[in-house]
Amino acid sequence: MTFTTPTSFTSPGLCLNTTKKIPLPGKIEEVRATGWLDLMKASSPTRKRQTKDVICDTQSDDLDLQYRNWMVNYPSALTSFEAISDLAGSKRLALFLDYDGTLSPIVDNPENALMSDEMRAAVRHVASLFPTAIISGRSRDKVFDFVKLNELYYAGSHGMDIMGPVRKTTDSNGVECIRSTDAHGKEVNLFQPASEFLPMITEVYEKLGESVKDIDGARMEDNKFCVSVHYRNVAEDDYKKVFHRVSAVLEDYPCLRLTHGRKVFEVRPVIDWNKGKAVEFLLESLGLNESEDVLPIYVGDDRTDEDAFKVLKASNRGFGILVSSIPKESDAFYSLRDPAEVMEFLRMLAAWKEQST
Ligand SMILES: [Mg+2]
């Protein structure tokens, strides 16, 4: 297989020792160029604004029409299930699942993003039938605390902290893993391509916390190899302030980049590593990357999941499923409206597999 190691992995020290201010990383410019304020306002619009008056009913009808038109290009994975199961045929399926907004609802306080017992049962069931991994922007420990299933593989910090199976191939491709054991004594591999950035991330977490502490509703989250600044509960008038404060802190950290998710800014090391790379890494670790008879499916709702959708699309095997209740451009092939539909899809997959064996 061709496995791409992260470009900064071999020489992050060059970055870490930088003291001079150099131009901000491209991603910040990207956020700016596309109109950061618009992005902040537009990310994750809720349906709460649709009240019961007539005007809003009309808006709601328009939204539904737009959504149905959008689904022509991103068909529902539920109504297309027969096509999916035909494609899966006798292939070995590998399942990759994002957590927030995919297995759990997006909530005002990210600490409360709990998955339901029904969802946990559905995930446990599919994991007993197919190799299944959770790939989240949260820290690996935190996402495990939410999911609480030992049957799965976990990749936290956008794939920068992977606990996977001991590699089945002997070709290491220069990827250095640490052999470890999980909570149940099972032998696992730990892969942390950004470990040298940890002191910097810890420092920037503190500085960012200090810089936004007077902004009502701004909430910090330490995701180990990345830092989140949530502004879901910040007044819209203060969005500009949040962005300026965050960018001001990052001016001193050219090796960190800023990306934007659902009402959240995320700060992470500039390394060539993302959820797409994590999918490739896990497929390889599972001994599934070379095989033509493997069908990887990735289910996710956010911008960072697009890297995984792209990987599957580019390799022309497997596909992404975007979880969204609004029309969005995506590299996914199918769609699901919300976590409830994700659960239904997982149940259908499990039922199909059990019937066919
Ligand atoms: Mg998500």
Under 8 Å between Cβ of 328 and 125: no
pLDDT higher than threshold 70 for residue 32:
no
**Homologous superfamily of domain range 196-269:** Trehalose-6-phosphate phosphatase related protein; domain 2 (3.30.70.1020)
Report pLDDT for 107. 87
Report pLDDT for 28. 45
Residue type, 257: R
Mean pLDDT of the 213-238 span: 95
Q: What is the whole-number distance in angstroms between the Cα of residue 141 and the centre of ligand 1?
A: 16
What proportion of the chain, given as a percentage, has pLDDT over 70? 83
pLDDT higher than threshold 60 for residue 22:
no
- 63-94+105-190+273-356: CATH topology is Rossmann fold (3.40.50)
Q: Which residue has the higher pLDDT, 79 or 30?
A: 79
Q: Which pLDDT tens digit goes with each residue over 149-196?
A: 988 999 999 999 998 777 654 444 556 778 878 777 777 888 888 889
Q: What is the whole-number distance in angstroms between the Cα of residue 154 and the centre of ligand 1?
A: 14
Enumerate the domain spans of the chain. Answer: 63-94+105-190+273-356, 196-269
Q: Which pLDDT tens digit goes with each residue over 35-92?
A: 677 777 776 554 444 444 555 566 777 888 899 999 999 999 999 999 999 988 878 9
Q: What is the whole-number distance in angstroms between the Cα of residue 102 and the centre of ligand 1?
A: 6
pLDDT higher than threshold 80 for residue 23:
no
Q: What is the whole-number distance in angstroms between the Cα of residue 131 and the centre of ligand 1?
A: 20
Q: What is the whole-number distance in angstroms between the Cα of residue 99 and the centre of ligand 1?
A: 6
Residue type, 183: A
Report pLDDT for 167. 60
Q: Which pLDDT tens digit goes with each residue over 104-125?
A: 998 888 888 999 999 999 999 9
Strand partners, 181: 187
Q: What is the whole-number distance in angstroms between the Cα of residue 103 and the centre of ligand 1?
A: 8
Q: Which pLDDT tens digit goes with each residue over 128-144?
A: 999 999 999 999 999 99
Q: What is the whole-number distance in angstroms between the Cα of residue 301 and the centre of ligand 1?
A: 5
pLDDT higher than threshold 90 for residue 147:
yes
Mean pLDDT of the 296-316 span: 95
* Mean pLDDT, the chain, whole residue set: 84
Q: Which pLDDT tens digit goes with each residue over 315-355?
A: 888 999 999 999 999 999 999 999 999 999 999 999 999 99
Domains 63-94+105-190+273-356 and 196-269 share a fold: no
